[in-house]
Amino acid sequence: MKKSIFLAILIVLIICAVVFGTTFSFFNASTRNNNIVGSTYNANFGVEVYEIKKSSSLMPVKDDLITTLISKSSNQCMDNDGQEVCSLYKLDVVNNGLPLDLHGFIRTSNSTYTSDNLKFMIYTKNGNVYTPITDIITITHNSGDTMYFKKNSSTYITNIGDGTTSPQTISYYVVFWISEIEASQNEDQGKSYNCIMGFESIHGDKLTSSFVISA
């Protein structure tokens, strides 16, 4: 029998707190500040997060169904039985300074979670068409583990233009779900996962701006 899994994401940029319950799940997000800004010596950028679908009873789902589920014209992230199977957020990266090349990441803070079933993927959107720009990425659980946005196993680079005259914005869509493995998924009942999500410059100590936020 499928077991629902309790999830919570608090976005500060984004702080993920994922706690697994026994009979139900939910996945929520909130912002303490709509535009969290990270500054560098000659550039600055911010991130704005918008809820599209906040699931309240997340159930495991097949990985290959995710694009179809978020692309629905209604009832996004819900399966044919009306069960919530993913949560979807829009992530606007806003540059107010010189051009930037950024790496997006999720970084584990701490975890008692043991399986490899928690996943995320990043999309862009053109009209009503969602296009994945990363691989399906498995979240790992050792403190300090960093999962960079990757495409074909190479780190995906966000190129954002000069915002000194007019702010430049790139929009991404972040979807989280639990992979259905067609086997018992009870091993992580009652356990928890905490993480930070952010962006950092690819230019080392010349341009660094990562979000390390404590709850």
Q: pLDDT tens digits, residue range 8-25?
A: 333 334 445 443 332 223
Could you tell me if residue 14 is inside a domain?
no
Q: Is the pLDDT of residue 105 over 80?
A: yes
**Ramachandran angles phi, psi of 210, nearest 5°:** -110, 155
Q: Is the pTM of this model over 0.85?
A: no
Q: Is the pLDDT of residue 48 over 80?
A: no
Could you tell me if residue 17 is inside a domain?
no
What is the rounded average pLDDT of the residues 18-42? 35
Please report, rounded to a whole number, the percentage of residues in the chain having pLDDT higher than 90. 26
What is the token pair recorded at 212? 């390390």
- The structure tokens 């995906």 sit at 156
CB 42 within 8 A of CB 98: yes
- Residue 168 is part of which domain span? 34-53+60-188+197-206
Please give the tally of structural domains in the chain. 1
